Chain A
Amino acid sequence: MIPELGQLALILALLLALAQGILPILGAHRGNATLMAVARPAAQGQFVFVAIAFGCLAYAFLTNDFSVENVARNSFSQLPKIYRFTATWGSHEGSILLWTLVLAFWTMAVTVFSHHLPDDMSARVIGVMGLVSSGFLAFILLTSDPFTRLNPIPADGNDMNPLLQDPGMVFHPPMLYMGYVGFSVAFAFAIAALLSGRFDAAWARWSRPWTTVAWVFLTIGITAGSWWAYNELGWGGWWFWDPTENASFIPWLAGTALIHSLAVTEKRGAFKGWTVLLAIIAFSMSLLGTFLVRSGVLSSVHAFATDPTRGIFILGFLGVVIGGSLVLYAIRVPKMESGGSFTWFSRESLLLANNVVLVAALGSVLLGTLYPLFMDAMGMGKISVGPPYFNSVFVPLIAPAMFLAGVGPLARWKQASLPEMAKRLRIAMAVSVASALLLPLTVGGFNWMASVGIGLAMWIVFTVLIGFAERLKHEQGSKLAALMRLPRGFWGMQLGHFGLAWVVAGIALVSAYETERNVKMNVGDTVHLSGYAFTFMGVEMRDGPNYRAARGTLEVSTGGKPAFVLHPEKRIYNASGMPMTEAAINYGFTRDVYAALGEELGPNEWTVRVFFKPFVGWLWLAGAMLTLGGILAAFDRRYLIALRKTGADTSPAKGAAVQGAKA
């Protein structure tokens, strides 16, 4: 009964999404206020029905309703309750439903926080989101029904993939989707602007906080995914350039470029066409990511099923969305007036360079990800493009962006002076070059990668400090109070760049100085690694809720003194019989110590893998800084003021007319 209710809710949601997609856009085109007014109630109704459908599926999982095929395939009666809930999005069908729920949620948020927009603008934005949602709901109903029943009903389920039974599963997919789908708002604003022909600073101001919030979620999602891979997979890695990781990283790069380009469009009215194009690219890359990950073309833990009709549907949908928006773009952009002028050395030109670098980096990752698929599809052989390609291409391409992150925020809009800039930056330059040469020696000997990483990180840190100092130079009275008075947008940028410095430093240091050993150990054996001594105390069997584990004990000492104990596990899951390595990690600010069990060679004789990972924790700390920076920037006072004006500003039509005239 409940699953059928869920299916009915999906059908109603699709009808509402179609109404939300078609009528308001038509209304905005014809200036019909009644049709435009359909946007909000339709979107809110759609959200309610998608939420009901999602709730029904979650209910089926929580109550172990194995008559539903999706539940029978992906859950198990002994599975802990929290994983039964996360199993709701652990399958292909469920994850697409989650995607749609997140889209409905974002649309809902737009209906609530868009009263300060002209009516035709908000109608178009909500309408575009309705069209996207219709596509996804049709995809679910036609190819990926999560509520299909089974007959006969199996006694128990097949269990969730043990890799997914991790706290990471609670946060990683929803956060990633909030980011992916969040770019649909920026996309909808871009399409609305193309439809209306209005590209002004106001348009950039409206879409900017939405873009930043989506970027924040994507940052959290990627950071959580990396943390999860590091903790769960037992390989000690935090980034593998796996196509599914790239699928989330490519939209992140596009989103990062978009955030910077929106800044120019909002402040200076320049780069309009480019900003619109980036908004289209960012969302297209999100859709492409979904296609890559969910269609089963990629062999990875994320690919749930291989069903060609799904792939063809998504590919068609992708073609319509990307192709349609690019055609609209090509028609409208020539009419676009280019904005404020600037010289070759100015904040605008530096941000332009930033965008070129980010897009080039994006292109290199995209190529490395798609090329093997393309070759395979063309029947030209099977190839793979591994980390060596991405490391040797992406790192040198992105390094100039790190340098620019230091210069850009200090440069003046419109026209900056190169000699003056050089003077302001010479100390930062000297300090970073000195640190690049000297600091690696204090960590573990000279290494050019660590050196370049540290140099760029210090460069960003010092230019951030210069930025604060210059803002406070002319402040009277308490400097601390003045610091607090600085706009949140400025704080956000500074914190974001500071976080970037930490990522760069962390990556460079852990890549250059990590150490690893694989050894056979009997009870009482000791292995030494980077100043730590690991003594193997044996393995005991232990029962988990839905698995049996061999739990090893390694006593770790450093400098002759006992430091901590690690308990890596090897689990066998009851339902699937799948083995699974559970690493044990001792976390620290300057290093992690990591141990995993390999194979059992004899009684109490195991292969053991130990890692020493200096500064790896900085990566996730930096993710937190980027997140906080993004949140501060998104909630800058000027956006909040615009929202508060909602009630007072009752003449949106007039505002629209004025903006229309300007454009």
Chain B
Amino acid sequence: MKSRNKKLLAIGLSVVGLAIAASLVLNAFKKNLVFFFSPTQVAAGEAPKDRAFRIGGLVESGSLKRSEDGMLASFVVTDTAKSITVQYSIREYGPLPDLFKEGKGVVAEGKMGDGGAFLATQVLAKHDENYMPPEAAHALEQAQKAQQTVVTQ
């Protein structure tokens, strides 16, 4: 094969490969991107109704409750302005992370349930004592800013 044809072959193969890759990627991207919303945004109705998303903030002190068999946990996530009740099935999705604690930062992924509670399929806590998940820190920051604006107005 001439070197010109060889180059054409190489380019052709790459284009086909990239086209397949691109279509797969874009399709999967559309389906699987998980957006983050703060409790304030959720309260304002900005979060999607039938699609998974993430929320973050602090676990409100004294809000952690368990069902009688201990396998269903519920707690309140707050960004200090608004809060949202989260339900998490330990039976289905496993124990809460080691570093999950009241008064500390948390991120949860899931969907809004019919009763207005957030049904989490995954709960993430920080990796060490002093670390706050960036999403949770962001939510608190936004809420603080929003409150300050209210006061100054």
> Contacting chain A: which of B78-86, B129-137, B143-151?
B129-137
Is the CB of B43 closer than 8 A to any CB of chain A?
Answer: no
CB < 8 Å: which of A382, A389, A596, A607 contacts B36?
A: A382
- Report how far A227 CA is from B69 CA in the complex, Å: 33
- A365-398 contacts to B (CB < 8 Å): 367-368, 371, 381-386, 388-389, 392-393, 396-397
Asked if residues B69 and A520 are in contact (CB atoms below 8 Å), the reply is yes
The closest CB in chain B to the CB of A397 belongs to: B21
Q: Mark B93-104, 1 if CB is under 8 A from A, else 0.
A: 111101100000
Asked if residues B69 and A342 are in contact (CB atoms below 8 Å), the reply is no
Asked if residues A579 and B98 are in contact (CB atoms below 8 Å), the reply is yes
Is the CB of A563 closer than 8 A to any CB of chain B?
Answer: no
Is the CB of A320 closer than 8 A to any CB of chain B?
Answer: no
CB distance from B115 to the nearest CB of A (A): 23
- Report how far A382 CA is from B36 CA in the complex, Å: 5
User: How many residues of chain A get a CB closer than 8 Å to chain B's CBs?
Assistant: 56
Asked if residues B28 and A389 are in contact (CB atoms below 8 Å), the reply is yes
Residues of A within 8 A of B91 (CB): 518-519
CB distance from B44 to the nearest CB of A (A): 15
Q: Mark A347-370, 1 if CB is under 8 A from B, else 0.
A: 001001100110111011001100
Asked if residues A607 and B70 are in contact (CB atoms below 8 Å), the reply is yes
User: Given the known A-B contacts A352-B13, A598-B90, are A386 and B32 also in contact in the complex, defined by CB atoms under 8 Å?
Assistant: yes
The closest CB in chain B to the CB of A414 belongs to: B1
Residues of A within 8 A of B66 (CB): 601
Residues of B within 8 A of A384 (CB): 33-34, 36, 54, 109
Residues of A within 8 A of B70 (CB): 520, 599, 601, 605, 607
Asked if residues B9 and A344 are in contact (CB atoms below 8 Å), the reply is yes
Q: Mark B26-63, 1 if CB is under 8 A from A, else 0.
A: 00110111111000000000000000001000000000
Residues of A within 8 A of B35 (CB): 381-383
Is the CB of A429 closer than 8 A to any CB of chain B?
Answer: no
- Report how far A368 CA is from B21 CA in the complex, Å: 12
The closest CB in chain B to the CB of A396 belongs to: B24
The residues of B with any CB-CB pair to A shorter than 8 Å are: 1-3, 6-7, 9-10, 13-14, 17-18, 20-21, 24-25, 28-29, 31-36, 54, 66, 69-71, 90-96, 98-99, 109, 127-129, 131, 133-135, 138
8 tightest Cβ-Cβ pairs between the two chains A and B: A598-B95, A382-B36, A360-B21, A389-B32, A356-B17, A601-B70, A392-B28, A579-B98
Given contacts A299-B134, A368-B25, 13 further A-B contacts (CB under 8 A): A299-B127, A341-B6, A360-B20, A367-B29, A381-B35, A384-B34, A388-B31, A393-B24, A518-B91, A581-B95, A596-B95, A598-B96, A601-B66
